[in-house]
Amino acid sequence: MESLYQLNFARIYTLGRIKQCKEDMWDIKPKGFSNTVRWNVGHIYVQMEILVQKAIPTYSIVHPEWIQFFAPGTDPDEWQEVPPSKEELIVSLKDQLDRILALLAPNLQDYLIETLEIGNLHSMETVEAIVQFIVWHEGVHAGVIHSINQANAV
């Protein structure tokens, strides 16, 4: 259950970093950065959806149409369509947390149908292991959002 508290904390932190970003800076890619605030916010959302589906295969991804924008390896410079708005992304991040916490709470100790491997660095066997990875992943990208915001302020 502690992992879910950490997930909640990470999301609160992320939303705080997002709130500090000026809207006109959401799509600016500062020198030295490979993505934008919008991409990082959407990536946090999409990656949680993908990982939760790996943890609980019956879970249906909400906003699967966003995967084309925010999946690992995507690049805002290559977008062919209009991405979700700032408001859509923020509302979805808030809604996602409550939905995911309720879904994961009774399943933390469950074993995955198939072990999830991240390269040869990390192997996850339980739902809780995926939650811990989601917390780490969100923290990394919240830090990137903060850094982009700082770089854009200069």
Count of CB atoms situated within 10 Å of the CB of 29: 18
Task: Report pLDDT digits (tens) over 50-108.
Answer: 999 999 999 999 999 999 999 999 999 999 999 999 999 999 999 999 999 999 999 99
Least confident of 67-71, 82-86, 117-121, 123-127: 117-121
Cα distance between residue 5 and residue 80, in whole Å: 38
Q: What is the pLDDT of residue 23?
A: 87
Report H helices in 20-126. Answer: 37-55, 67-70, 86-104
Cβ neighbours of residue 42 closer than 8 Å, sequence gap 6 or more: 66, 69, 70, 83, 84, 89
The CA–CA distances, whole Å, from 124 to 19, 38, 116, 131, 150 equal: 32, 29, 5, 10, 34
Domains and CATH numbers, the chain: 2-153 (1.20.120.450)
